[in-house]
Chains A and B, each alone.
Chain A
Amino acid sequence: MNSDPKQINTLLSTNDYLLHLLIRLGIGRSNYIVDPGIYFTGEPDKSSPLFVSSNYKMSFNKLRASLSGISSWILVIDTEGINVWCAAGKGTFATNEVIEKIRKFEIIKIINHKNLILPQLCATGVSAHKIKDETGLNVIYGPVRTHDLPAFLNNNFMATSEMRGVRFNLIDRIVLTPIELIQALKYIFLLIFALFLIIQIANLINPDSNNIFKYHFIILYPILACLSGCVITPILLPYIPFRSFSLKGWITGIILFVTTFLFLPLTFWAKIGTLFLFPSISAFLALNFTGSSTYTSPSGVKQEMKWFIRPMLASSIIGFVIILLFLFGAI
């Protein structure tokens, strides 16, 4: 690994923004990394601030883009290409990794002050007093969002409580939806395929079970359940009643599927089966969104699961059986 400090630009290119978009769609994530090492912006000297960054390129890009006109050093540690907060929770943006890189890249030779500025969200995995004990360096936690860095630096490393708070507003939620959707669709396509096979078998066994809405039903409904749980529920999250994500996903699902009944004149049993199966899928997918949210706790998710996993499972099974019987022309 080349240890010479590398100069970096503080201006993101169109290519950078394009790659960010692709990353949000789930493309190229495992390669979007920066090599650990020392980088610099502007013309830093020994008194310039030193930031510590994850090696997920999007995090790194956000950091350097906020340093326009600022001379600084950046120590990139190895978080296996994962962003700050997830890496900290997972144990890769960790005290030991930071200490190791401080020693490896001889930070004490680069700066004559003792301050390291770390992103606040790595605090889940980094113990500031342990770093001080081991290296003599002071960990200063910077603001949550990099765009607050210039104000933070101007204010003698003091952050307002606003700068230290994590939010989960509409934009924060929207950017997460493509990857949730794409990951869920992989499983939903399995369901679609299974249902398709069932129709073929049903046609062989009971040719009278022909139903012109079958394919709308089999392809459209799984995808709608996916959209309901992975996109609509996250986007409308605070506006849907109840605190439980499962319940929110279920409510969205019920409303969505009842609305489709206005356009698809399904039989009574087809509707019943639909309302048992597909909103449960939406509920499950919405429950999964807790893992991407910024305010849910493991204790809360455990509580949700305790209450809702069995009802979701039961409802899905009942719905699936009813739909099977419907597809076989039995009801």
Chain B
Amino acid sequence: MNPVYFKNVSTLLLDKEKCTLCGMCVIVCPHGVFELSDESAEIVNKDYCMECGACKINCPESAIYVKSGVGCATAMILSAITGKEISCGDDEDSNEKCCG
């Protein structure tokens, strides 16, 4: 069972021209978004994409773009209210870790 969140929201883009079929995207993706065809990698499950960015930074040809970032809702709400970029656990004075 692969749970799907919203459809058609993922910012994932693949430039097949640049693909050299190294297969790293298939290896690092936690949700089986990519498969390899004879010509290049293919996005086969775009709606499973959680925009973690592993594919983007492990593609040696920079063929993949995705808008990855913190998915933590608290961070986003704070960010929306204060108008600044917030990442989780940013409070350096706090001994609390919000995740882990």
Query: Which one, A68-76, A97-105, A122-130, A272-280, is touching chain B?
Result: A122-130
Chain B, interface SS category? loop
> Which stretch in A199-207, A212-220, A301-309, A316-324 binds the other chain?
A301-309
* Chain A residues with CB below 8 A from B13, complex form: none
* A292 interface contact, C-beta 8 A: yes
How many chain-B residues does the 8 Å CB contact rule pick out?
47
Taking a contact as CB atoms under 8 Å apart, the answer to whether A299 and B54 are in contact is no
| Interface stretch (choices A6-14, A148-156, A159-167) | A159-167
Whether A295 lies near B5 (C-beta < 8 A) is: yes
Task: Name the contact of B99 in the complex, choosing from A86, A125, A126, A295 (C-beta under 8 A).
Answer: A86
Closest to B22 in A: A129
Could you tell me if A298 and B76 are in contact, using CB atoms closer than 8 angstroms? Answer: yes
Q: Are B6 and A288 in contact (CB under 8 A)?
A: no
Residues on A with beta carbons closer than 8 Å to the beta carbon of B28? 120, 123, 141
A90 within 8 A of B: yes
Per-residue CB contact flags for chain B residues 38-69 toward chain A (1 = under 8 Å, else 0) read: 00000000001111111001101000000111
| Pairwise interchain contact A128-B58, C-beta atoms closer than 8 A | yes
Does any Cβ of B come within 8 Å of A81's Cβ? yes
Query: How far does the alpha carbon of A168 sit from the alpha carbon of B60 in the complex, in Å?
Result: 30
Residues of chain B contacted by A29 (CB below 8 angstroms): 96-97, 100
Contact B73 A124 (CB under 8 A): no
Residues 65-117 of A at the B interface (beta carbon under 8 Å): 81-83, 86-90, 95
In the assembly, what is the distance between CA of A315 and CA of B52, in Å?
33
Which residues on the B side are within 8 Å of A146 (C-beta)?
none
On whether the beta carbons of B3 and A295 are closer than 8 Å, the reply is yes
CB neighbours (8 Å) of B6 from chain A are 243-244, 297, 299-300, 303-304
A87 to B95, CA, bound (A): 16
User: Chain B contacts of A305 at CB under 8 A?
Assistant: 73, 76-77, 80
With both chains docked as a complex, state the minimum distance between the C-beta of B67 and any C-beta of chain A, in angstroms.
7
Q: How far is B29's CA from A295's CA once the two chains are assembled, in angstroms?
A: 12
Whether, in the assembled complex, A270 has its beta carbon less than 8 Å from a beta carbon of chain B, the answer is no
User: Is there a chain A Cβ closer than 8 Å to B16's Cβ?
Assistant: no
Binding site for B on A (CB under 8 A): 29-30, 56, 58, 81-83, 86-90, 95, 120-121, 123-129, 141, 144, 159, 161, 164-169, 183, 237-238, 243-244, 287-292, 294-305, 309
Please report B residues at the A interface, Cβ cutoff 8 Å: 1-6, 9-11, 24, 27-32, 48-54, 57-58, 60, 67-77, 80, 87-89, 95-100
17 CB-based A-B contacts, threshold 8 Å: A82-B100, A123-B57, A125-B57, A126-B57, A127-B57, A127-B58, A141-B27, A161-B32, A164-B32, A167-B1, A238-B1, A290-B71, A296-B5, A298-B68, A298-B76, A305-B76, A305-B80
Besides the known contacts A123-B28, A141-B28, A297-B71, 7 further A-B residue pairs in the complex with CB atoms under 8 A apart: A29-B100, A86-B88, A123-B54, A124-B57, A296-B5, A301-B73, A309-B80
